[in-house]
Amino acid sequence: MGVLNITPDSFSDGGMWLEFDAALRHARQMVAEGADVIDVGGESTRPGASPVAPGEEMRRVLPIIEALAGEVTVSIDTRNEAVARAAVAAGARLVNDVSASLWRVAADTGVGWVAMHMPAEPSVMASHAHYDDVVAEVTAYLLDRASQARRAGVTEVWIDPGIGFAKTAAHNFSLLRRLDELVATGWPVLVGTSRKSFLAAPSAGRALPADPVKGASMGSVPERMEATVATSTWAILKGASMVRVHDVASTVMAASLAAMAS
């Protein structure tokens, strides 16, 4: 799943794809690199982000969804019901629901649905990173939502632990280490680690060498690609059925090699 954020403020690609032609080119590039799904989002859910009005969110995402829908499977990354319905009408075939509450849209329209674990609104979620057993609690939450969706008639249901959403680095690593427990539920698992801040943890306390080409430290956001590839490949080897990434070519290559070796 390749990420296409049409936002001014997404944490790693905010402002890069606001212009329609640039967004379309980038989406097509990700498809050429091996993305099976393009995940279009019009609202940042990074910690501390402010909500976007549904009308503005639709203005951002609908034209690109219409343009891409005939070329590739499009998912709509939203927590707003009206936006999800409009996106499906525009051609989206998957509702990537970070609020895990919009399964009725999928039930009514026959599209797929992703339930992601996010225990609190982005604006306040940093203070909600408290769990006794993060893996057990996330699994129970997702099982409950997935069963409700299935009972409502959704045939394609995905579960996603919501890496980085109200979770410390230790929580994120626990979820990755014990991802097989989520996979064992039988629901297909989607995992998104791409460029997230916990990936800089191994470099904490020591300066990484500057990237010889780009000059920036390899721990900074655009240089978290290696860590994204490593954790995405790990997730696939642990049984994830899909990974959500900004850097499609490198992840596809690593995952394909890992599949050949396993």
Closer to ligand HH2 by CB, 64 or 98: give it: 98
Any contact of residue 98 with ligand HH2 (CB under 6 A)? yes
Give the distance from CA 18 to its chain's centroid: 19
Residue 244 appears among annotated catalytic residues: yes
Scan residues 48-67 and list those touching ligand HH2 (CB under 6 A).
none
Stretch that binds ligand HH2, among 6-14, 50-58, 128-136, 254-262 (CB under 6 A): 6-14
- Classified as helix, coil or strand, 218 is coil
Min. distance of Cβ 207 from ligand HH2 in angstroms? Answer: 25
- Classified as helix, coil or strand, 49 is coil
Which stretches of 192-242 are DSSP H helices?
Answer: 225-237
Min. distance of Cβ 261 from ligand HH2 in angstroms? Answer: 26
Scan residues 104-143 and list those touching ligand HH2 (CB under 6 A).
114, 116
Residue 206 appears among annotated catalytic residues: no
Closer to ligand HH2 by CB, 2 or 70: give it: 2
Between CA 175 and CA 6 the distance in angstroms is: 28
E strands present in 99-199:
112-116, 157-160, 190-191
Stretch that binds ligand HH2, among 64-72, 157-165, 211-219, 231-239 (CB under 6 A): 157-165
Torsion of CA 110, 116, 119, 123, to 10 degrees: -90
Between CA 216 and CA 101 the distance in angstroms is: 39
Between CA 237 and CA 84 the distance in angstroms is: 31
Residues with catalytic function: 196, 244
Chain positions contacting ligand HH2, by CB under 6 A: 3, 5, 7, 10-12, 41, 44-46, 77, 96, 98, 114, 116, 160, 162-163, 190, 192, 244
